[in-house]
Amino acid sequence: MGMKDKFQDQAGQRQQQANDKTGESREKAGQRSSQQRERSSQQRDRARQDIDDTRDEMEDRFNQDYDA
């Protein structure tokens, strides 16, 4: 194997490693993105539930005040 071939092989290997790492990074970013969407969806659901609970409490208090 000549010196030129040796360096071309190393360059090819490094290029492949870089491509592999890029693919892994994209995969991880996609996973993080989906987790963030899921978390924000859960937060919105909790906020809606809190609003509904508060509305129900206020309505109950109103009814108690005017029932007495």
More confident residue, 8 or 50: 50
Q: Say yes or no to pLDDT of 25 above 90.
A: no
Q: Is the pTM of this model over 0.85?
A: no
Q: What is the structure's pLDDT at 43? A: 92
Rounded (5°) CA angle 14-15-20: 95
Domain ranges of the chain: 25-68
For the record, the structure tokens of 52 come out as 């509904």
SS (H, E, C) the chain: CCHHHHHHHHHHHHHHHHHHHHHHHHHHHHHHHHHHHHHHHHHHHHHHHHHHHHHHHHHHHHHHHHHC
